[in-house]
Amino acid sequence: MYGFRALRASASPHLPTLIGASAVLLWSPVLGMLRTITEIFGAVGGAALVFTAAAVFSALILGVPRPSQLPRRYLLIGGALFIGTEISLSLSIGMAHHRGQALELVMINYLWPCLTVLLTVLTRMQRGNWLLLPATVLCLLGVVLVITGEGAWSPAMLLANLRSNPLAYALALAASCMWATYSVVTKRIGGSRNAVPLFMVATAVVLWLKYALGDAPPLHLHWGGLAQVAVFGLLTATAYSCWNHGLQHGNVTSMAIFSYFAPVLSVLWSSVWLSLQPGMGFAQGVACVTAGSLLCWWATRARPLPPPAPPAAHTV
């Protein structure tokens, strides 16, 4: 925590935004790694392990704030969105029928940059223009191309692929929507304290409860898997700490600009890690999502909305 404070005090006002944007680089390898961890420990057990590790590293990096130090609305609303995002995303990837489908779910999750920009406009945190509509359509088209694969696209093919694992696809979409909402909520009501360690602990607790109450297979000792858990935990804790710092002290829209390239970076890392070779249809989908997100940025290049004017003084 001291490091963030010292940097904020001594560096340029753009530094919090750059710190937040660096989370995109740290997030890129973790989703592919999450798939191999869940292959070893199971969807629920693997997710519980990685978020336990992330909670430990978050506490070491930032310390654990007391709930009384945080705005109550943010603790409840932001915490619910954070926990919901992480559980939905980790379970969706763990539930994928194969590694290729896991890569599709990663791409669905990366609708969140476009959705974040849309929400900043709808909540009047940022101006936008009519280009937001085609940008959103382009992002959705990219996801459709990713899901339908290499064959000629048709509604029947899309529906068949979704029906093959509807819960996993629904969870990935829900995760992208919740993370976009979390980003806006954190900016508006998050205050100045970083609540990521608390949220990580709560996520781990919920996942362990689900593991204990469900019928997940028992965990077993796997040194390679535990090493991946440790790396995942360190990367995830650092990334979320940086992102939250940027949301609270930087420019959300500028951070979204950096995140527009997250699908490409994540797919590249995940493809190498999972030994996959995405075909042309997948590449076209990635290009559409990235282009749509960039178009969102183009549509919001105007200055943010000015703060409301103070009320006029009353005269006697």
Q: Is residue 242 part of a domain?
A: yes
For residue 148, what pLDDT is reported? 67
Q: Is residue 305 part of a domain?
A: no
Instruction: Report d(CA 270, CA 29) in Å as an integer.
Output: 6
Q: Is residue 19 part of a domain?
A: yes
What are the φ/ψ torsions at residue 106 (nearest 5 degrees)? -60, -45
Any alpha helices (H) in the chain, and if so which ranges? 2-10, 15-27, 30-41, 43-62, 72-73, 79-94, 99-109, 112-122, 132-148, 155-164, 166-189, 196-213, 223-249, 252-259, 262-273, 280-299
Instruction: Report d(CA 243, CA 221) in Å as an integer.
Output: 33
Q: Is residue 304 part of a domain?
A: no
Instruction: Report d(CA 205, CA 134) in Å as an integer.
Output: 41
Q: Is residue 121 part of a domain?
A: yes
For residue 40, what pLDDT is reported? 94
Per-residue pLDDT of the chain (316 residues; tens, 9 = 90+): 444 454 444 455 678 888 888 888 888 888 889 999 999 999 999 999 999 999 999 998 888 888 888 888 999 999 999 999 999 999 999 999 988 888 888 888 888 877 887 888 888 777 778 888 888 888 878 877 777 665 555 667 667 778 889 999 999 999 999 999 998 998 888 877 778 899 999 999 999 999 999 888 889 999 999 999 999 999 988 998 898 888 888 887 778 767 767 777 787 888 889 888 877 777 888 888 888 878 877 877 654 444 443 333 333 2
Q: Is residue 134 part of a domain?
A: yes
For residue 311, what pLDDT is reported? 36
In 3D, which of 286, 299, 313, 242 has the Cα closest to residue 106?
A: 286
For the segment 56-83, what is each residue's pLDDT rounded down to a tens digit?
A: 999 988 888 888 888 889 999 999 999 9
For residue 235, what pLDDT is reported? 93
What are the φ/ψ torsions at residue 126 (nearest 5 degrees)? -155, 145
For the segment 88-129, what is each residue's pLDDT rounded down to a tens digit?
A: 999 999 999 988 888 888 888 888 877 887 888 888 777 778
Domain count of the chain?
1
Print the domain residue range for 149. Answer: 13-299
Distance of CA 98 to the CA centre of its chain: 22
125 burial type by CB count under 10 A (0-12 exposed, 13-18 middle, 19+ buried): middle
For residue 154, what pLDDT is reported? 61
